[in-house]
Amino acid sequence: MRLIAGLLFISIFGFYTAPEFTDWAGYNGGNDRNHFSPLSQITPNNVKNLKLAWTYASGGADTINQTTQMQCNPIIIQGIMYGVSAGSQAFALDASNGREIWKTTIREKTPNMTSRGVAFYSSPAHSSKIFFGFGSYLFALDAKTGKPVETFGDQGKINLVEGLKRPGADDYAVLNTPISIYKNTLIVGTRVSETAPALHGDIRAFDANSGRLLWTFHTIPKPGEYGYKTWEKNNYKNVGGANNWMGMAVDPKRGIVFVPTGSAAFDFYGGNRKGDNLFANSLLALDIRTGKRLWHFQTVHHDIWDRDIPAPPNLFTMTVKGKKRDVVSILSKLGFMFVFDRVTGQPIFPIEERPFPASEVVGEKTSKTQPIPLWPLPFVKQSFTEKDVNPWASNKEEIIAELRKSQTGQHFIPLSVKKKTIFFPATDGGAQWGGAAVDENSVMYIPAKQNPVHISLIPLEKTIENSGKSLYVQHCQSCHGQNREGNEDGTIPSLREVHKKYSEPLLTQILVKGRGRMPAFNFLSAAEKKAVLAYVQGLNVAVEGPVKKSTLDFSPFTFTGYTRWYDSQGYPVSSPPWGTLTAIEMNSGKHLWQVPLGEYPELTAKGIPPTGTDLYGGPAVTAGGLIFIAATKDEMFRAFDRKTGKIVWQYKLPNAGYASPSIYSINGVQYVVIACGGGKVKTNSGDKYLAFALKN
Ligand code: HEC
């Protein structure tokens, strides 16, 4: 490629200056997902001269008032950056100046979602392609023009819902995280719903040129397949989920794909899926040529806590007892790290099966034990009790009184109808989808958060009346709240005023297509949609006509929602830090440093040391000795000295960068680029990408 680019240059300009490129070749930096760049132009000494090089306004949503986000980690191949806009369209631009080369205008009817990026494919026989998830579709785009490659799948795309269906399921499957590629094979996972009607979470491989299905790995095994006995008899028909939404890593030397999975659906009750539930919450090592399982490790048995593996694995080499070992590691929402030999699946550090309490909920049967890694030590605090309440919380007494009535103090406490159960770290981590960076010395850098969430189960009555209210309780309440109030931090909007904001057809469209993290509710009949929307406007009307299969047929419980716990002033009720960055030297497994990540300027002004904030997104680490990370709610982009954890540069972004930065070079200039999408935890939405370089 480099040679071809060089020759082109000669023919156009008639003199010889081959452009020099350092790529950011894939999601999170490439197949190993280590967020690592070998570039060293920017260092802790000169980073103070880092300046904005260009800005690209990617274009937002079609609907006014819609909250958008950008979680895209763009890739940069030979000086061209490929990414996804706030309006979910793929684009290519000149990565030296931010000038757009192409942008798609795809208008398929498909659930909306926030894309984390695209994947690049090239082969000598075919022109280069960009693989891009748009809702339920996997598109193959011509890398030069952005036009669908008609010879791939159905006129340039594959509908990923096909092949995942099962009786009674909804039709929600989207591709939010870039696919993985090995030779001519695309390995594809999907996000599916977290409620009982979820589709199958199968892992599939497709041919990169024809789009033909090559193999399917059933994460909920069928009769005769390994792991079938870890479920109830018909679960492969009546349970969904156990899907890969967080991304994968590929070992190209061995042709192995490492696939983490999430929980089986429904997230918080498993009485209809008794057993360990392989391969939910597992790390799978699959042979890419055949789709056959080489080994697996399950991180949570019979998960009823939404403890999905949150991020792609990291692949790196470490020295164990003087011997080089190629390893794969995964992070957990609980702050654990599991490290395995890539070939044998043997744990590098000891992992112990520890006993945990049994569930008292009718029909539920929790696992007697759960795997706990003994080393490295967790990178977040492990429990939230009275002594961990924020000492300057505004309503401390009230919080303590509430805490005394709740179940807390350890992981894996079975949920209850009567009491709140404290999740600490929260349901979205601990570690989150941004993942961890690993440098050339096998030091790992992990962003993580520490704030509590509380959840209780709500029994659904078999005799529930056939009305808009009952549909709301079954399908909407867990997110939008018992009184349609949304959640406190604004990640789930209140529905009380939506009828003023949107027309009835627009509201129906939101139900049909879903939006952001909200799944589509197309499986509700027209009469059911009408009734539930009437309830959203405060009217409880009966459904006209027959009722379709309801959540009740899958689970006797719903839940109170992912309620983050804040004090009366809106700060997490736990003592800070609420967001951290931790460095762990992986050869020894020893923690090197931990620093708060982010701050609340109004608290810092009062003399309170930086508290860290809620965060989404990952770091990037460079051979030049820096870690770049945005991710925080305070809308800052920071560089840390990777040796010490000291902040050596920071920049106020136009909107929060809930994404991972990418690092590349063109003709000797090193750039750092970040998507500033905002739109979460009460921060405004934006559509800009910002690139930085040293001022010369
Ligand atoms: C898994 C959580 C979840 C469930 C279940 C859910 N929603 Fe939502 N909903 C969301 C989120 C998150 C948003 C904001 C999406 C965005 O703008 O990115 C949203 C947005 C909406 C909006 C648009 C609000 C606005 O101000 O723009 C409507 C209307 C809505 N939901 C209705 C419903 C109804 C009715 C149900 C039940 C049938 C439902 N939702 C179920 C999470 C959920």
Chain-centre distance for alpha carbon 159: 21
The pLDDT value recorded for residue 12 is: 53
Structure tokens at 520: 């589509």
> What is the C-alpha to C-alpha distance for residues 462 and 552, in angstroms, rounded to an integer?
7
pLDDT tens by residue, 443-493: 999 999 999 999 999 887 765 567 888 888 888 988 898 889 888 767 788
| Residue given tokens 């993942």 in the structure block | 435
The pLDDT value recorded for residue 4 is: 46
Structural contact between residues 522 and 600, judged by C-beta atoms closer than 8 angstroms: no
Structural contact between residues 551 and 474, judged by C-beta atoms closer than 8 angstroms: yes
Structural contact between residues 328 and 575, judged by C-beta atoms closer than 8 angstroms: no
Number of Cα atoms under 13 Å in the Cβ half of residue 377: 10
Structural contact between residues 296 and 283, judged by C-beta atoms closer than 8 angstroms: yes
pLDDT > 80? residue 438: yes
Structural contact between residues 670 and 41, judged by C-beta atoms closer than 8 angstroms: yes
> What is the C-alpha to C-alpha distance for residues 236 and 7, in angstroms, rounded to an integer?
55
Structural contact between residues 70 and 674, judged by C-beta atoms closer than 8 angstroms: no
What letters, b where the CB count within 10 A reaches 16 and e where it falls short, cover 459-469?
ebeeebebbbb
> What is the C-alpha to C-alpha distance for residues 549 and 551, in angstroms, rounded to an integer?
7
pLDDT > 60? residue 7: no
Which residue puts its alpha carbon closest to atom 40 of ligand 1?
476
> 267, 476, 496, 559: which to mutate for ligand 1, most atoms within 8 A of CB?
476
pLDDT tens by residue, 508-547: 988 988 887 787 887 788 888 999 999 998 887 877 766 5
> 479, 535, 540, 548: which to mutate for ligand 1, most atoms within 8 A of CB?
479
Give distance in angstroms: CA of 566 to centre of ligand 1: 22
Classify residue 314 by burial, with Cβ atoms within 10 Å: 0-12, 13-18, 19+. buried
Which residue puts its alpha carbon closest to atom 9 of ligand 1?
518
C-alpha pair distances (Å), 503 with each of 63, 427, 465: 12, 33, 27
Q: Is the C-beta atom of 274 inside 6 A of ligand 1?
A: no
pLDDT tier for residue 60 given thresholds of 50, 70 and 90 = confident
> What is the C-alpha to C-alpha distance for residues 512 and 109, in angstroms, rounded to an integer?
9
C-alpha pair distances (Å), 695 with each of 47, 99, 123, 243, 692: 10, 20, 37, 45, 9
The pLDDT value recorded for residue 13 is: 53
pLDDT tier for residue 242 given thresholds of 50, 70 and 90 = very high
Give distance in angstroms: CA of 262 to centre of ligand 1: 22
pLDDT > 60? residue 429: yes
pLDDT tier for residue 98 given thresholds of 50, 70 and 90 = very high
Structural contact between residues 337 and 311, judged by C-beta atoms closer than 8 angstroms: no
Question: For the residues 334-341, what does the mean pLDDT come to?
Answer: 98
> What is the C-alpha to C-alpha distance for residues 457 and 125, in angstroms, rounded to an integer?
56
| Residue given tokens 């798609």 in the structure block | 104
The pLDDT value recorded for residue 519 is: 78
Question: For the residues 641-658, what does the mean pLDDT come to?
Answer: 98
Return the closest-CA partner of residue 54 out of 692, 696, 695: 692
* Alpha-carbon Rg for the chain in angstroms: 24
> What is the C-alpha to C-alpha distance for residues 475 and 238, in angstroms, rounded to an integer?
18
Q: Is the C-beta atom of 478 inside 6 A of ligand 1?
A: yes
pLDDT tens by residue, 678-694: 998 889 999 999 999 99
Q: Is the C-beta atom of 536 inside 6 A of ligand 1?
A: yes
Q: Is the C-beta atom of 426 inside 6 A of ligand 1?
A: no
Structure tokens at 294: 């080489």
pLDDT tier for residue 111 given thresholds of 50, 70 and 90 = confident
pLDDT > 80? residue 424: yes
Question: For the residues 80-86, what does the mean pLDDT come to?
Answer: 97
Structure tokens at 78: 């030979």
